[in-house]
Amino acid sequence: MKLLRSIFFGFYSIINGIWLKVNKVDYGRLTIHGFLMIYNKGKVRIGNGGKINTHPLKNIIGGDTRSSVIVKKNAELIIGENFKMSNSAIYCAEKIHIGNNVMIGGSCRIWDSDFHPLSSSDRLANPNEGYNTRPIHIGSDVFIGGFSIILKGVSIGDGAIIGAGSVVARDVPAGEVWAGNPASFVKKIH
């Protein structure tokens, strides 16, 4: 069984390497378990020591989805060193910066966009144009619990923890635990 798993993920490693090059991703040492769905029309940089799980066998908690990274034209996604992400989605229409040593739990979503206009008449006329975007900044040493959503315009300070299932719609200071929908302050980390 171990040999089969090794062959299986070895195949994905080759495919992912080709797919990252085709999508012009600048990356260091990066381990990807499963096939990473990536679409890049902007700038993507991932630092050394990254690990992305994108297969149900690699994280049963978030195994209901696969990891995806979408970077729209002229957008910028910069990810620091020792980044860990499990079966989660990043959608970057403007700018997302993620620091070093960040862990993103299973089935999380990080979106810097509304995806569609807020006005119903604008949505009817052109549902995929004219939506709002605002940059996201996630500091270093942050942990984002599984099934959380980080919305546009949010800044999460260094060392913060986001509780599982949270919807983060406003800034989270460094060294604090936030949780809930909408996410609110729980406690300071010692």
Question: What is the residue-level pLDDT of the chain in tens, covering all 190 positions?
Answer: 566 556 555 677 888 999 999 999 999 999 998 889 999 999 999 999 999 998 766 666 666 778 999 999 999 999 999 999 999 999 999 999 999 999 999 999 999 998 886 777 777 787 777 778 999 999 999 999 999 999 999 999 999 999 999 999 999 999 999 999 999 999 999 7
Annotated catalytic residues are 116
Q: Is the peptide bond before 182 cis (omega within 30 degrees of 0)?
A: yes
**Residue 17, helix vs strand vs coil:** helix
The pLDDT value recorded for residue 149 is 98
Helix (H) or strand (E) run with residue 124 in it: helix 120-125
Q: Residue 72 and residue 63: Cα distance in Å, rounded?
A: 26
Q: H or E element: which one contains 156?
A: strand 155-156
Predicted confidence at residue 124, as pLDDT, reads 77
**Residue at 58: amino acid letter:** K
Closest Cα partner for 106 from 165, 170, 157, 155?
165
